[in-house]
Amino acid sequence: MLRRSPGPKVHWTFGKSRLTPDEVSMSIIDARLKELGITLFTPPKPVAAYVPYTISGNLVFISGQVPFQGGALKYVGKLGADFSIEMGQAAAQLCAINILSVLKVACDGDLDKVVRCLKLTVYVNATPDYDKQPEVANGASDLFAAVFGEAGKHARAAVGMGSLPRGVAVEVDAIFEIQ
């Protein structure tokens, strides 16, 4: 909740954070992203026959996002062979950042339109004996909770896969409610 701090100077707070007067003009969620050190980028064009998102009523369905950054795929390999849990969480977090980039486009540039994150599916490229998919998925889940607070808490599935597109370690798709 955005509220004015008491005192003679005009500052706004988001949770425990203090916003400067210049930051008040940005959206609440954009200010939160800035506070968290998260920069959203223009989403890449789809590489196959699909669209990055669809909207039905007040629901936004975000297509699976992979750990893509700076024009290149990151985290190519398998959990249980090539990556630790922490690296898998970083891959899931990068997927979540890419979801936010697509969601911002779907919301006409205003992430304050998000009512809540409803559902994530986290696909983990893993060896057959790997069983830490939920821990890897926390990389995405924790990011949405940090960005949206209670509205970022969601239902989720975390599943192991024999392979993922282009050999990436993690892919995440999401459903959001917007206003």
Q: How many domains does the chain have?
A: 2
Look up tokens 């890897």; give the residue: 136
Full domain range(s) for residue 19: 2-36
Across-strand partners of 19? 12
Residue 22, C-beta contacts closer than 8 angstroms, at least 6 positions apart? none
Same-domain pairing of 98 and 144: yes
Same-domain pairing of 80 and 25: no
Answer yes or no: are the C-beta atoms of 175 and 157 closer than 8 Å. Answer: no
Taking Cα atoms as reference points, which of 67, 149, 154, 155 lies closest to residue 112? 149
Q: What digits encode the pLDDT tens for the residues 66-109?
A: 999 999 999 999 999 999 999 999 999 999 999 999 999 999 99
Mean pLDDT of 99-128: 98
Same-domain pairing of 22 and 57: no
Same-domain pairing of 13 and 95: no
What is the CATH classification number for the domain harbouring 130? Answer: 3.30.1330.40
Dist. CA 141–CA 160, nearest whole Å: 17
pTM for the structure as a whole:
0.86
Beginning with the edge strand found earlier in the chain, give each strand of the sheet holding 17-19 in spatial order. Answer: 2-4, 12-14, 17-19
Structure token digits, residue 49:
């026959």
